[in-house]
Structure 1
């Protein structure tokens, strides 16, 4: 990658893990463009539930970052319940929305990152670019009966990351995934309260959920410091609530 400050696109950047990632990267001197549902300074708006939104976001980010993106961090996602006995139309719509946001839009952005990297000269660590996908513990251990689609989307993200790493390492592209467990964001606080926080915490040997800055520190390492030989790695951040 270039010797100048790295240019980075972070999706889902306006709160929680994404906001912590942007803050950590900026502290390291990176030039970061974030993504959210509403435009703001340093944030591009895109509704990733819409087909083609990932490609449009990429084009806007590339323009904002002077035609160069060194690192893509896919963090945007939804965690929405759907009951097993929901009406068929609702079931299908919920699966479609979750897969579109969590997996398809991430895949579209990864595709653009791979194509972009293929046209560049290698820089630091002999890499042309990096991808960091924020998946979930659910990719490996599954999730609740109301969240099949969420677990499936995150398992797909992990498999996609490994495929990219294996397919494009020789071309100078590194791909990594992070699998957090519960992280103390607004969404996690609501979920813990609704499911009985004490019982859920008892399943985490560390005794607490992760903080956004802990996940951000891992994302920052993978985006800026991880050696090329780590490509394909999937790192867990779950307090030993699930070990592989």
Structure 2
């Protein structure tokens, strides 16, 4: 099985990469530090990545995991054009790029008449929102969840399955910065489990969705947030 994993060079992505390779799978990574380089802020980036990955995979990709994303503060009192510009950047990287890759994957499987799986790494922010400086991030992740459900409903009969994972805070560099900016220990009081999730915990769920989840689970959204948001 060949898996294309975006954002594979650090944090959750690196943990997913390790979990899948440990399971004996072939993983084609994408990232700024390792794997195939592709800038998702560039509209040409997702398609270029897909084409490069297909070539590396000898024409067959079985699973797509959309993990790449940015989490950048965009305060409401910024210059209007700058604020809008950061909205567009975040939605392009966190949502539109994933949509493009998902479309290319679905078409790939349809043309080959084969099954396939898409695993989208979203966020609890899709459901409970985020800070006043992160409207764009929450909106992008909500869009990713809606996209996952739409793909699941649209293509299940063709053997094309889609799953979304919604982590809360995860102990990556991105989460470290956010925790520090929000008071650290005070923020942990919002997590009943009392600790931030480790990337390896999210990776276990991603591996399950990519390799083992039964077909009847397609469309499922799995929470990994220490009960900080219970739907």
- TM-score, reference length from structure 2: 0.98
Q: Which runs of 5+ in 1 are unaligned?
A: 1-5, 123-127
Verify: 1:29 aligned to 2:29, yes or no. no
State the partner residue of 1:116: 108
What is the total number of aligned residue pairs between the two structures?
231
Q: 2:90 aligns with which of 73, 98, 107?
A: 98
Verify: 1:142 aligned to 2:129, yes or no. yes
Distance between the aligned counterparts of 1:194 and 1:163, measured in 2? 35
Kindly report which structure 2 residues correspond to 1:14-93, keeping only aligned pairs within 5 A, or say none. 14-38=9-33, 40=34, 43-93=35-85
State the partner residue of 2:3: 8
Kindly report which structure 2 residues correspond to 1:201-240, keeping only aligned pairs within 5 A, or say none. 201-240=188-227
State the partner residue of 1:169: 156
Distance between the aligned counterparts of 1:152 and 1:190, measured in 2? 21
Distance between the aligned counterparts of 2:197 and 2:79, measured in 1? 35
Distance between the aligned counterparts of 1:185 and 1:132, measured in 2? 20
Distance between the aligned counterparts of 1:121 and 1:231, measured in 2? 18
State the partner residue of 1:192: 179
Distance between the aligned counterparts of 2:180 and 2:76, measured in 1? 22
Distance between the aligned counterparts of 1:24 and 1:65, measured in 2? 19
**1:85 CA displacement:** 1.3
Verify: 1:182 aligned to 2:169, yes or no. yes
Distance between the aligned counterparts of 2:73 and 2:61, measured in 1? 34
**RMSD of the TM alignment (CA)?**
0.8
Q: Which runs of 5+ in 2 are unaligned?
A: none
- Helix, strand or coil at the partner of 2:179: helix
Q: Indicate the larger mover: 6-15 or 187-196.
A: 187-196
Verify: 1:241 aligned to 2:228, yes or no. yes
State the partner residue of 1:3: none
Distance between the aligned counterparts of 1:103 and 1:187, measured in 2? 18
- TM-score, reference length from structure 1: 0.93
**1:120 CA displacement:** 2.5
Distance between the aligned counterparts of 2:45 and 2:39, measured in 1? 6
**1:83 CA displacement:** 1.0
